[in-house]
Chains A and B, each alone.
Chain A
Amino acid sequence: MSVFGNSDELKNVMLTLWGRIKTDADMSEKLLRSRLLVQFRYRDPEGLLTVDASDGVELKLIWGRFDQKPVIEMAMKADIAHEFWMGRISVPVAILTGKMVSKGPTPKALALLPVIRPAFDFYPDVVHEVAGEGARK
């Protein structure tokens, strides 16, 4: 069974997490400067999150269908995303063991990592608040 009970729970956790990233001045400024359009494709349970910094003005978070072609796509099981944000799985290990798929220019995906790293600190709280005591960690 997944850490996330269903797609709605996954959606709430990820949108809350990215919502906090958006309100963090440092992280959002760096993301906007990158002008990246990144898409995270989750399975078990399913979910599709697009983070759009392409206009350099406003960080947009879109859950579900999105018609533009992203610059980078990252695909993984929702549980791997959880392990990643908990700081329990490193990207090189996830890549070599085939648990993460990255589509598009890899250097751009890697440049994103140090930018979002501060969010590792508050992710456990987000899971706890949104998914509640019931969330298996």
Chain B
Amino acid sequence: MQPFTFHAPTRITFGADTASSAGEFVKELGGTRTLIVTDANLMKAGLLDKILSSFKDDGHFEPVIFSDVPADSDVPCVKQAAQLAIESRCDSLLAVGGGSVIDTAKVVNICLTYGGDLLDYQGLNNLPSRLHPLLCIPTTAGTGSEVSLVAMIKDHAEGKKLLFGSRLLAPDSAILDPALLLSLPPRLTAGTGLDALTHCLEALAAVSTSSSLTDSLSIEAMKMIFANLERATTDGANLEARSNMLVASTMAGLAFTNAGVGIVHAMAHATGGRYGTHHGITNAVFLPYGLDFNRMAIAPKYAYAARQLGITNSTDDAKGADELIRVVVSLIERCGLPSCLKDLGVPEFSEVDLEELAEQAITDPAIMFNPREASAEDIINIYKRAY
């Protein structure tokens, strides 16, 4: 067995309506004045009402609210929120939202805790000391950022995303309240669910870094996703389907943050960085191509997953891998997600676009975990086929 390290420092609490105890959770973490990071849509939809009143009930200082996080948050947004946190003397953070909000809160915490230039902290294992307490309440079921050790923020000056990765970046606590997801529209439900499925499949495929711990989380989360994503997408009010997706997404988060992702994420990052496409939906487009690209390197692992998922009884690895890819494609179709980049709204590529995208994908940190090495030519081929 190969050596591994598994980090899961986040306390995870699941239950409908658990978010209405947020104030108590922050207090337990030692927070007295809290910056709440969220976005305007969620505020308007009333998703924060119960959370805010929990702070009043608990005799806290009034929390400070930053609700200007855009989709795919960026450096100016982080700086603005950090400024507010510093001026308000906050000592703790609460993120309520999707991956964009949670990643923003993580990087704001870096600025609040250490001060100085946030660019000095980008990189991997590059944080010097413990951060302020962070509680996360995800309102999408996909990114796993509520338990992950990474955050990505757009830097418009460089036209790329800055990566921060450290075990110190894992949130202290996560509240999984499925009631908050009832308002998530079908396309985002499906897209974020496909992000979670991609986390499972890429963590499973990361043969040099995955372990029995990450494999078991990936497989169990996939079972839950296959059984519940379509239902959560078409019947958004179904609390049971939402619950399963939310927990599966956190499990997938634990798997990928300990094993890594791969070529699908690398290509989705390059594409999203350039064309502003949604992270999960972009993963959905590339996932069948990524699975197909890797199958020659790890068909036995895919076949193992297919058998565990009850998709096949066959002991033939090639057949098992085929079956796995087939059910993934079928799920993407049934959830109404686009199957090509054109339908995702990506403009036609020039040769220069393709070269630049390939260059970005082959140097994206996600690709270092991929089981099969991909050349720029391989990536360009996938771009052309996926268009």
Q: Which residue of A lies closest to B127 (CB)?
A: A101
Contact of A93 among B158, B162, B208, B360 (CB under 8 A): B208
Contact of A98 among B162, B167, B363, B367 (CB under 8 A): B167
Contact of A90 among B123, B167, B208, B259 (CB under 8 A): B208
Does chain A have a CB within 8 A of B350?
no
Does chain A have a CB within 8 A of B129?
no
Q: Could you tell me the distance between the alpha carbons of A96 and B259 in the complex, rounded to whole angstroms?
A: 8
Does chain B have a CB within 8 A of A91?
yes
Does chain A have a CB within 8 A of B79?
no
Contact in complex: B123, A102 (CB < 8 Å): yes
Q: Which of A6-14, A60-68, A103-111, A126-134 contacts B (4 or more CB under 8 A)?
A: A103-111
Q: How many A-B residue pairs have CB under 8 A?
A: 69
Complex contacts, B360 vs chain A, CB 8 Å: 107
Number of B residues with CB within 8 Å of any CB on chain A? 28
Contact in complex: A107, B365 (CB < 8 Å): yes
In the complex, chain A residues 86-104 whose Cβ is within 8 Å of any chain B Cβ: 90-93, 95-98, 100-104
Does chain A have a CB within 8 A of B327?
no
Q: Which residue of A lies closest to B126 (CB)?
A: A103
Q: Chain A's nearest CB lies how many Å from the CB of B262?
A: 11
Number of A residues with CB within 8 Å of any CB on chain B? 21
Contact in complex: B122, A103 (CB < 8 Å): yes
Tell me whether A105 and B258 are in contact in the complex, defined as CB-CB below 8 angstroms, given that A90-B208, A98-B167 are known contacts: no
Contact in complex: A97, B5 (CB < 8 Å): yes
Q: Could you tell me the distance between the alpha carbons of A101 and B128 in the complex, rounded to whole angstroms?
A: 11
Q: Could you tell me the distance between the alpha carbons of A121 and B165 in the complex, rounded to whole angstroms?
A: 31
Q: Chain A's nearest CB lies how many Å from the CB of B366?
A: 10
A48-80 Cβ-contact flags toward B at 8 Å (1 or 0): 000000000000000000000000010000000
Contact in complex: A104, B365 (CB < 8 Å): no
Q: Which residue of A lies closest to B206 (CB)?
A: A92
Contact in complex: B363, A111 (CB < 8 Å): yes
Contact of B258 among A96, A98, A102, A106 (CB under 8 A): A96
